[in-house]
Each structure stands twice: as structure tokens, then as C-alpha cells.
């Protein structure tokens, strides 16, 4: 059997199997539930010393949802679902130091949150996570001397991506 014939038979079998399943097979695109159309994302509550982290996370999450989901961001009164959360911990740690000077070279910025995605019609949780964390790293030493804000930004962006991915993974 030549390679072309094997490929043709395999492709034909795959198409036949998908047709037998009523069109249910591999799916491209979003795997978010399609029964919802709108989402409300209030500013995440914050129980940490970083006073702006709740706002930064909410903004990043809203942008990520607009990019990667079929849901329209709306106000609380007109939303099918609400995604609430609380920033529970922000931690800055020294990750490495210079052997010559003992000054900090790398710093990690870790943000931990609890979040809950709720169906507004039933009041039931769709997906919830506790102790959900992500980190950003910066080089604090010269000559780079990156600001800690860069680590915060990276941690927040990573959290937004991970939340949207977890909204999809349960479906």
C-alpha cells in the first residue's frame, strides 16, 4: 500500500466516524459553555497591602474574556453569569542574589486569589477555585533593574489567562 492510499483510507474512516456521531467530534474554537451570552466581572475584592491589584486583575480578566470568549461584558443587572473573586495574598520573594555583593538579583511576585463563576439565573456556581496563584519574575539588579510593576503585570496577565482556561476546562 502506498502512503497516499493509507492517508485517504484513514481520512475517510475519520470522517465516517464523525458522521456516525451526529457531527460530534473534534471541535475547534472555544470550549466555553454556549448557553451563556453575557458575563459581569466586578472589581476583585482585595485583602492585601497592594491596593491596586484588584483593579489590575479585573481589567486584565475583562480584556482576556473579550479576546478569548464569546461572552459580552455587561452590567450586573443584564448578565447571565458573574465572575467574582478576592485577592487573598500578594507575596514578594527574593529568588536569587549576587554571590559577589549579596544584593537581590531576581524577585518573584506571587498573587493568590479565590474566584467563583456563578449562573445568575440559578445562583449556582459553574466553576470555583480557591488558592489559585500565579507569579511574575523580574531582574532587580543592575544593569536591567526591571521595576516590580513588571512582575505584578506578568502575574496578573497569567492569572487572567489561567482563569479563562479553567472556565473552559470543566466543559
Full-model pTM: 0.75
How large is the average pLDDT for residues 160-165? Answer: 94
Contacts of 144 (CB under 8 A, 6+ apart): none
- Which string of DSSP letters, residue by residue, matches 135-163? EEEEE-STTT---HHHHHHHHHHHHHHHH
Residue with the three cell numbers 481520512: 11
Contacts of 56 (CB under 8 A, 6+ apart): 152, 153, 156
Interval 113-130: pLDDT, tens: 999 999 999 999 999 999
Interval 16-46: pLDDT, tens: 444 444 444 444 455 777 889 999 999 999 9
Amino acid at each position: 500500500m502506498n502512503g497516499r492510499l493509507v492517508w485517504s483510507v484513514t481520512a475517510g474512516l475519520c470522517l465516517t466516524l464523525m458522521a456516525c456521531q451526529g457531527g460530534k467530534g473534534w471541535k475547534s474554537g472555544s470550549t466555553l459553555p454556549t448557553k451563556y451570552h453575557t458575563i459581569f466581572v466586578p472589581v476583585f475584592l482585595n485583602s492585601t497591602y497592594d491596593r491596586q491589584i484588584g483593579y489590575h486583575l479585573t481589567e486584565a480578566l475583562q480584556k482576556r474574556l473579550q479576546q478569548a470568549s464569546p461572552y459580552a461584558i455587561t452590567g450586573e443587572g443584564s448578565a447571565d453569569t458573574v465572575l467574582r473573586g478576592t485577592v487573598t495574598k500578594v507575596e514578594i520573594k527574593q529568588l536569587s542574589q549576587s554571590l559577589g555583593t549579596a544584593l537581590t538579583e531576581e524577585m518573584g511576585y506571587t498573587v493568590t486569589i479565590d474566584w467563583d463563576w456563578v449562573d445568575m439565573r440559578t445562583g449556582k456556581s459553574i466553576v470555583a477555585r480557591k488558592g489559585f496563584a500565579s507569579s511574575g519574575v523580574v531582574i532587580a539588579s543592575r544593569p536591567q533593574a526591571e521595576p516590580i510593576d513588571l512582575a505584578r503585570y506578568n502575574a496578573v496577565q497569567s492569572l487572567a489567562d489561567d482563569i479563562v482556561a479553567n472556565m473552559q476546562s470543566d466543559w
